[in-house]
Structure formats: C-alpha cells, structure tokens
Amino acid sequence: MTIRRQYSLPNCTLILEGLSNEMGGEPQDGQLLSIVVNAECKFVGFDRKLHGGRVFVENLVKSTSAYAQECLSGIRRPHEVQATGDRVNLEIISGTTLHRLSWHPPEEANEEPIELELNTVQLFDLVEAVDQFVADTRTLPDLTLKLQPVSRRYRQPDEPLAQRAVPATMGMISLAVAALAFLLIPIPQVRKPEETKPQPNPTQTAPNTQPSLPAASPNNQQSSPASPTPNPTPSP
C-alpha cells in the first residue's frame, strides 16, 4: 500500500508518496516511508509543479536550505554540484525582491525546465515545508541535512580597500598638520611678576596734626578786671 506524506503551508505544498520496507500491519500514519515513488512541490498561483523521485527530493532540500542560509547571513557561496537529473536551483532576481526557483528534469523525462518567480512569503513557506519534512522521522529517516557555518573566505568586503583606507589616511594627515602647526607656534615669554608696594589702608584714621594745648591751671586763669574805685566825695 502506498504511503502518502503531505506538508502543507498557505502558499506551498510538498507531497511525498512511497513505500515502506518494513513488514507489518501498522496503520499508515505510523509506517515508515523509506522508498520514494513520487514527490511533488507546488505553489499557489502557479499551474505547473515540480516533481520527481528521490534525487529530486534530495536536491530540493539541499538547494532550499543553502539558499535560506545565504539569505539569513547575506553571504553568497558556491553551490554544490548536483546530479545531472532533477537539478533544483534558487537564486535572487537582480534588482527585485523575487526569487527564481528553477528545475531541470532528467533528459529521459522529455520535459521542459520550469522556472518560477517566488515572492518572499512563498519562499518562506517552501523553507518551512522542507523543514517539516526533514524533521519528520517517519519519512526518509536516512536523509539528513548537514548544516555547516559559512567560511569567512566567502565574505565580501563592504567597501573596496581604497575606500576603507581613506579615513585612516585622512586621520594621519590631520595629525601631521596639527603637529606642524604646534611647532610653528612661538614659545610664550614668561615675565617675572613685579613686586607690589603696600598701599595704605583707607579705613585707618589719619593722625591728628593740630598741636595740643596745655591744660589750664588755676594760676594761669585770667583774673577778672577789678571794679573801678569810686572817687571820694569832697567834704564841705
């Protein structure tokens, strides 16, 4: 009996159909899907869909995970060379916010390649569908995704080396000009401060320059003029 797994998001649906190599009468939901017969990936708004077998599933998982890592880190790196059949590639469309998802079917399939222009929401739904599929231990448990940190050698400098060296060069020139201007400034002459003469205190009372008079004594007091002596009256 065919086992079907469906991982549905609002804008993307990933469907896998296959068989189990385990013998037993367990319910379908609990059976292990270990052999992929057919896989489909379709998006809302597009009539055409991507489909294939085990190779298609592996390439879809690798391309989606690598591209999501590039979008989050902002660092582009060389992509792993995929198999000749069911090649899946994701890339940004220059000058836009759209993402081109291209699928090249094997030559024996006699089908035309498909290119879909996804917006950011559709891309996020594709990443979420792939994450749900990889995290499902009941579907292709032998398919593992090895995530590795991006090497620093793939990081591109934000600015050319010449532009990044301009601030440092201007800083050194400014420092040299400031040092030269400091040397041209004449040395100021240091003058010894003059000794200040003490100034009289204006609040001090001026000395009395008038000569002092001797104290009056009883002997020196001026006698009062004597009363005139009356003339004697002549007798008759």
Closest CA to 50 of 124, 121, 130, 151: 130
- Per-residue pLDDT for 129 more than 80? yes
How many residues appear in the chain? 236
Q: How many domains, the chain?
A: 1
Please indicate, yes or no, if residue 223 is contained in any of the structural domains: no
Please indicate, yes or no, if residue 50 is contained in any of the structural domains: yes
Radius of gyration, CA atoms only, the chain: 56
- Per-residue pLDDT for 204 more than 80? no
How much of the chain, in percent, has pLDDT values that exceed 90? 37
CATH code for the domain of 19: 2.30.31
CB within 8 A of 12, min separation 6: which ones? 41, 42, 43, 44, 122, 125, 126, 128, 129
Q: With cut-offs at 50, 70 and 90, classify the pLDDT of residue 54.
A: very high
- Per-residue pLDDT for 11 more than 90? yes
Q: Which residue has the higher pLDDT, 159 or 142?
A: 142
Q: What is the mean pLDDT of residues 232-236?
A: 52
User: What whole-number distance in Å separates Cα of residue 99 and Cα of residue 93?
Assistant: 6
Q: With cut-offs at 50, 70 and 90, classify the pLDDT of residue 236.
A: very low
Please indicate, yes or no, if residue 119 is contained in any of the structural domains: yes
Q: What is the mean pLDDT of residues 104-127?
A: 91
| pLDDT in the model for residue 14 | 97
Please indicate, yes or no, if residue 28 is contained in any of the structural domains: yes
Q: Which domain holds residue 22?
A: 3-149
Please indicate, yes or no, if residue 18 is contained in any of the structural domains: yes
Q: Please, what is the Cα angle at 214 between 212 and 215, to 5 degrees? A: 120
Q: Say whether pTM exceeds 0.75.
A: no
- Per-residue pLDDT for 161 more than 60? no
Please indicate, yes or no, if residue 214 is contained in any of the structural domains: no
Q: What is the mean pLDDT of residues 58-85?
A: 77
- Per-residue pLDDT for 213 more than 90? no
pLDDT-wise least confident of 39-43, 105-109, 192-196: 192-196
Question: In whole numbers, what is the pLDDT of the chain averaged over residues?
Answer: 76
Burial code (b: 16+ CB inside 10 Å, e: under 16) for 132-149 equals: ebbeeeebbeeeeeeeee
DSSP for 91-159? EEPTTSS-EEEEEE--GGG----EEEEE-HHHHHHHHHHHHHHHH-TTB-TT------PPPGGGPPPSS
